[in-house]
Structure 1
Amino acid sequence: MPIVESTYKPPFQFKNGFVATVYSGLFRKVKGVEQNRERIETRDGDFLDLDWSYATSKSDAVIILLHGLEGHAQRPYITGTAKLFNTNEIDAVAVNFRGCSGEGNRFYHSYHSGATDDLDDVVQHCVQKGYSKIYIKGISLGGNITLKYLGEDREIPSEIKSAIAISVPVHLNGSSKELHKLKNKAFAIRFKKHLVDKLKVKISQFPDSISVAEINSIKTLKDFDEVYTAKAHGFKDALDYYEQSSSLQFLKNIYVPTLLINALNDSFLSPECFPVKEAKHNPNLYLEMPKFGGHVGFIQKGKFYYNEQRALKFVIGL
Structure 2
Amino acid sequence: MQNTPGFEAAPGLRNPHLQTVVGRIARRRFEPRYDRVRLDTADGDFIDLDLWRGPEDPAGVCLLLHGLEGSARSGYMVTTSEALAAARIQPVALNFRSCSGEPNRLPGAYHSGRTDDVERALAWMAARFPGLPQTAIGFSLGGNALLNLLGREDGGNGLVAAAAVSVPYDLEASADALDRGMGRVYGHRFLRSLREKAREKARRFPGVVAPEAATARTIREFDDRLTAPIHGFRDAADYYARCSAKRFVGSVDLPMLLIHAQDDPLAPGISVPVEAIRRRPRLSLALTERGGHLGFVARQQRGGLAGARRGWLEGTVSRYISRATHQTTHRDFRVF
TM-score normalized with structure 1 length: 0.94
CA separation of 1:155 and 1:172: change in aligned 2, threshold 3 A: closer
Q: CA deviation at 1:251?
A: 1.1
| SS of equivalent residue, structure 2 residue 217 | coil
CA separation of 1:67 and 1:118: change in aligned 2, threshold 3 A: same
Q: Matched residue pairs, number?
A: 315
Q: Would the aligned equivalents of 1:108 and 1:206 in 2 still touch at CA under 8 Å? A: yes
Q: Would the aligned equivalents of 2:59 and 2:88 in 1 still touch at CA under 8 Å? A: no
The corresponding residue for 1:229 is 227
| SS of equivalent residue, structure 1 residue 289 | strand
The residue identity in structure 2 corresponding to 1:280 is R
Residue pairs, 1:1-318, within 5 angstroms: 1-2=1-2, 4-129=3-128, 130-158=130-158, 160-212=159-211, 214-215=212-213, 217-300=215-298, 301=300, 302-304=306-308, 305-318=311-324
Q: CA deviation at 1:171?
A: 1.0
Alpha-carbon distance in structure 2 between the residues aligned to 1:32 and 1:227: 36
**Uncovered stretches (5+) of structure 2, i.e. residues with no partner:** 301-305, 325-336
Q: Would the aligned equivalents of 2:87 and 2:322 in 1 still touch at CA under 8 Å? A: no
Q: CA deviation at 1:277?
A: 0.5
**Uncovered stretches (5+) of structure 1, i.e. residues with no partner:** none
The residue identity in structure 2 corresponding to 1:55 is G
Alpha-carbon distance in structure 2 between the residues aligned to 1:35 and 1:131: 23
Alpha-carbon distance in structure 2 between the residues aligned to 1:33 and 1:182: 34
Alpha-carbon distance in structure 1 between the residues aligned to 2:188 and 2:175: 13
TM-score normalized with structure 2 length: 0.90
Deviations 1:226-258 (A, max 9, x none): 000000000000000001111111111111101
Q: Would the aligned equivalents of 2:297 and 2:312 in 1 still touch at CA under 8 Å? A: yes
| SS of equivalent residue, structure 1 residue 12 | coil
Q: Which runs of 4+ in 1 moved over 4 A?
A: none
Q: Would the aligned equivalents of 1:62 and 1:131 in 2 still touch at CA under 8 Å? A: no
Q: Would the aligned equivalents of 1:138 and 1:146 in 2 still touch at CA under 8 Å? A: yes
CA separation of 1:216 and 1:140: change in aligned 2, threshold 3 A: closer
Question: For the aligned residues, what is the CA RMSD?
Answer: 1.6
CA separation of 1:205 and 1:153: change in aligned 2, threshold 3 A: same
| SS of equivalent residue, structure 1 residue 138 | strand
Q: CA deviation at 1:203?
A: 1.6
Identity in percent: 32
The residue identity in structure 1 corresponding to 2:9 is P
Q: Would the aligned equivalents of 1:54 and 1:90 in 2 still touch at CA under 8 Å? A: no
Deviations 1:250-302 (A, max 9, x none): 11111110111110111112355222101111112211111111000011332
Q: CA deviation at 1:208?
A: 1.4
Alpha-carbon distance in structure 1 between the residues aligned to 2:15 and 2:100: 32
| SS of equivalent residue, structure 2 residue 105 | coil
| SS of equivalent residue, structure 2 residue 168 | coil
Deviations 1:1-22 (A, max 9, x none): 25x1542112112211101111
Alpha-carbon distance in structure 1 between the residues aligned to 2:269 and 2:90: 35
Q: Would the aligned equivalents of 2:27 and 2:79 in 1 still touch at CA under 8 Å? A: no
